[in-house]
Amino acid sequence: MINKVCPTVAQAVADIPDGATVMVGGFGASGSPIELLHALIDQGAKNLTVINNNTGNGEVGLAALIANGQVSKMICSFPRSSQSRVFPKFYKEGKIALDLVPQGTLAERIRAAGAGMPAFYTPTTVGTVLAEGKEQREFEGRTYVLERWLKADYALIKCETADPLGNLTYNKTARNFSPLMCMAATTTIVQTRRLVERGEINPEHVVTPGIFVDRVVEVSEPVHEDILIAEGRRYP
């Protein structure tokens, strides 16, 4: 019988190797899988390429993973914000690489990887520096830029409710990139606020079907990035 439940966050991330490409769900603080990120800091994998819309805030979660020297490259759309200090410092010191991708292109590249589509044409970036060196083609009189899929070895995801099959629901805008990342990673690891029995999630309400999920770990009282930052916390 299929059971994807993993007892601890430490076990859930134990096999992530040095050099892995890791998608991290969340948009700013909402939906950020802080407990899985902190487990990855404890685990210590290095030279990671991380895909997230942002680069973390304060010195917790994703920012702490960068501060700990574990990330060699970020693929994101918006690497700075009012609370983002670690990435800008590392970037200016030449300690981390940046691949800047417009937000909609980032989402669609991840979706394409999950859907088995190696590339697609988008109007986004036409005529800008971000289109330089990319194949362009005209369709019905308008120019489009070719973009490729974006895959990952692992995805770290936070959700609201999960069952042992890996069916997931999210909470409000904490959903953001997570359903796409679940599809695009070879191994998808999910922390859930509520772990329920098989059959308890109405099939009509499932957002991420369990086929896209490999491991589920219950974190019933997840910390929130904004609260940790307000309290002046840092990790480790």
Alpha-carbon torsion, ordered 35, 38, 42, 48, to 10 deg: 120
Stretch that binds other proteins, among 9-17, 63-71, 98-106, 197-205 (CB under 8 A): 98-106
Place of tokens 């819309």: 53
Which of 47, 136, 173, 186 is the binder for other proteins (CB under 8 A)? Answer: 173
**Whole-number Å distance between alpha carbons of 192 and 181:** 15
Of 16 and 201, nearer to other proteins (C-beta) is 201
- Closer residue to other proteins (CB): 105 or 191: 105
Q: Cβ of residue 93: shortest distance to other proteins, in angstroms?
A: 11
Q: Does 125 bind other proteins (CB under 8 A)?
A: yes
- Least distance (Å) between residue 111 CB and other proteins: 4
| 92 belongs to the binding site for other proteins (CB under 8 A) | yes
Neighbours of 231 (CB within 10 A): 11
Shortest distance, position 150 Cβ to other proteins, whole Å: 12
Q: Is 79 near other proteins (CB under 8 A)?
A: yes
Query: Closer CB to other proteins, residue 47 or residue 171?
Result: 171
Nearer to other proteins, 2 or 202 (CB): 202
Among 122, 151, 187, 206, binds other proteins (CB under 8 A): 122
Instruction: Please identify, among the stretches 9-17, 91-99, 149-157, 210-218, the one whose residues bind other proteins according to the rule CB under 8 A.
Output: 91-99
Residues at the site binding other proteins, with contacts judged by CB under 8 A: 27-31, 53, 77-81, 87-88, 91-92, 98, 100-108, 110-111, 122-130, 170-180, 207, 224, 226-227
